Amino acid sequence: MNKLQQFTHFVKDDHRYVFLGTSLIAMVGAWFSTQPRGPKSFLASAYAVEVAMYWFLMAWLAVSAVALVWKLTHWKTYEETAPFTKPLAKKVERVLSYVVVAITAILFVDRAVMGLSSTIDVALAQDKNPNDFLGSIIYMLDKAADIIAQGALITVELAVFGTLIAFFLAILLVFLRIQEIDRSDNDFVRFLKTFGCEFAKAYSTVVRGTPMMVQAMLIYFLGFNILRGTGMTVSEIGNVWSTFIAGLVTISLNSTAYMMEVLRGGIEAVDPGQNEAARSLGLTQWQAMIKVVFPQGVKNAIPALSNELVVNIKDSSVLSVIGVFDLMFATKTVVGIYFKQVELYVVAAAVYLCLTMVASWLLGKFAKRLSVEPASLSSVSDMNATVGTVAGTGSSEYSLDAKKREGHKHDIR
């Protein structure tokens, strides 16, 4: 039984929630009824019907208030004494609650939907920007839809490609970060492992300790000055080192530090017995990490890794300081045309919200598909398959002790 079915079953079992829920709906419907009608209102010619609907909602609110008072004064004996708990009364109350919902829906369509349609028609017919808030938003969206759409597209491109590049860079750095020195390693290998680990630590500290806005400006102007030192002109530099490329590099390098730490946490959450079992079967540290530990660590880290894409969609807005034509830069451009700040920033916030909600939904579906049951490891050949755990649990079906117990039972048989 899903959550919606559980809630519906709970409401049906306790009819008091019929009054509680529908009284709130009735209040919304009564409020809509008091709002002025628009030019497209289909209830304008049915004034008597609307008055009847309004007083029906008010009557329902009165009955709900009586039921509430009765409950407060007869707290322990409500089910036995209240007239609202009789079988026939329950059926009538449920039917009337459906009528309340239907009336509220009709009033919502008449006032909100038809009113919005009228506002859109009026705003689009204007020769200049209207003064009302909603009409001004509609007018500017109609005139500057291409600019906003282009900025939103570039924001998505920066976030998606930046996150993908950062993921592969984070894999490289996390391997450097978690390397351990083996007894068989010579001095050169020991030096490389130590240097790689310290470099990954320093990179994470510096990147996570400085703002992305500062990083963007440093990366863009540093690259610009380097290319300028080669004798290239400004136009030639723009073809090679555009603001989009600089912004993509900034997001990629910034996300790499955070994703590296997320991957490291996911790997460290894997049962140590997995690595011990792989090494006991003859795999090297590198093979055990690649074929056994790392696949499970990535699965454990998927929720946090997915969240990095959502973060990048929002944080890409700081790249407008170096001239990246993202959603924020596009919004500022339209603001400069119409001198309407609040209206356009509300639009930008709504677009960012839609992008993040869609990204979260898609990533949630992706994470569920990867949350598979772990496969037990029984031989060296099975190392070629992904041995994983349920995302976020860190649980495991394979350990060295388990194999010993299985072998012991086999000997007894």
Helix (H) or strand (E) holding 111: none
- What digits encode the pLDDT tens for the residues 38-65? 889 999 888 899 999 999 999 999 988 9
pLDDT on residue 242: 93
Domains of the chain (ranges; CATH) run 3-125 (no CATH), 145-412 (1.10.3720.10)
Q: What is the DSSP string of 62-100?
A: HHHHHHHHHHHHSTTTHHHH-GGGSHHHHHHHHHHHHHH
Contact indicator for 296, 387 with CB cutoff of 8 Å: yes
Burial class (CB in 10 A: 0-12, 13-18, 19+), 14: exposed
pLDDT given at position 370: 67
Average pLDDT across the chain, whole number: 81
Digit-coded pLDDT (tens) for 250-279: 999 999 999 998 888 887 777 777 777 877
Q: Are 367 and 325 in contact (CB under 8 A)?
A: no
Residue 11: predicted pLDDT = 44
pLDDT top residue among 53 and 405: 53
Q: Is the pLDDT of residue 83 over 90?
A: no
Q: What is the pLDDT of residue 112?
A: 93
What is the full DSSP assignment across 230-295? TT--HHHHHHHS-HHHHHHHHHHHHHHHHHHHHHHHHHHTS-HHHHHHHHHTT--HHHHIIIIIHH
Would you state the pLDDT for residue 141?
Answer: 92
pLDDT for 2 equals 55
Please give the helix or strand (H or E) that residue 374 lies within, else none: none
Give pLDDT, residue 163. Answer: 93
pTM of the model: 0.74
The rounded distance, in Å, linking the Cα atoms of 365 and 36 is 43
Phi and psi (nearest 5°) for 276?
Answer: -65, -40
What pLDDT is recorded for position 269? 75
Per-residue model confidence (pLDDT) at position 102: 95
The better pLDDT of the pair 128, 190 is held by 128
pLDDT digits (tens, 9 = 90+) for 201-259: 999 999 999 999 999 999 999 999 999 998 888 888 988 999 999 999 999 999 999 99
pLDDT, tens only, 272-325? 777 778 777 777 666 777 777 777 777 777 777 778 899 999 999 999 999 999
Residue 289: DSSP 8-state:
I
Q: How confident is the model at residue 3 (pLDDT cuts 50, 70, 90)?
A: low
The answer, yes or no, to whether residue 405 has pLDDT greater than 50, is no
